[in-house]
Amino acid sequence: MNEEEIYGAVGEEGFTRLTANFYRRMRRDFLIGPMYPADDWEGSEERLRDFLLFRFGADERYLEKRGHPRLRGRHMPFKIGVAERDRWVELMGAAAAEEISDEDAREALMAFFSQVADFLRNQQEGECPIGG
């Protein structure tokens, strides 16, 4: 599926539900939840939702607020190893399983999320043990 087809299957409401479900899980996660600023959960959720709307729906809100995504640079302050990458994908996968009913769109999104999560890794295997 291409971006337009994914957006057509999921829509803005679906991406909003997906990110809300994901962040409910993140708030309880002991491994990667602490990476998020405790006083800005809503902002983090909005930024992810806006990024996804930009990436898949060509919505300009993200660019207007944040400029170019520069994902790798924005995530450099956080230690992201294999365990953190895998947990992010696991939590997003659980949220997607609940929120995205179109199987093809869900699979395409998960392939995208897995690729991006791996791209954001900045620790070699073994450098970032569970618990920080």
Domains of the chain by start residue, with CATH: 3-119 (1.10.490.10)
pTM, rounded to two decimals: 0.84
pLDDT of 128 > 70? The answer is no
pLDDT of 72 > 70? The answer is no
What sign does the CA torsion over 117, 73, 21, 129 have?
positive
Helix (H) or strand (E) holding 65: helix 61-66
Tokens representing 119? 């791209």
- Rounded to whole angstroms, what are the CA distances from 62 to 6, 46, 129? 18, 9, 33
Tokens representing 86? 């895998």
Say what the pLDDT of residue 71 is. Answer: 60
What pLDDT, in 10s, does the model give residues 116-125? 998 888 887 7
pLDDT of 132 > 50? The answer is no
List the single range of 15-19, 27-31, 50-54, 73-77 with lowest mean pLDDT.
73-77
Tokens representing 55? 């990436």
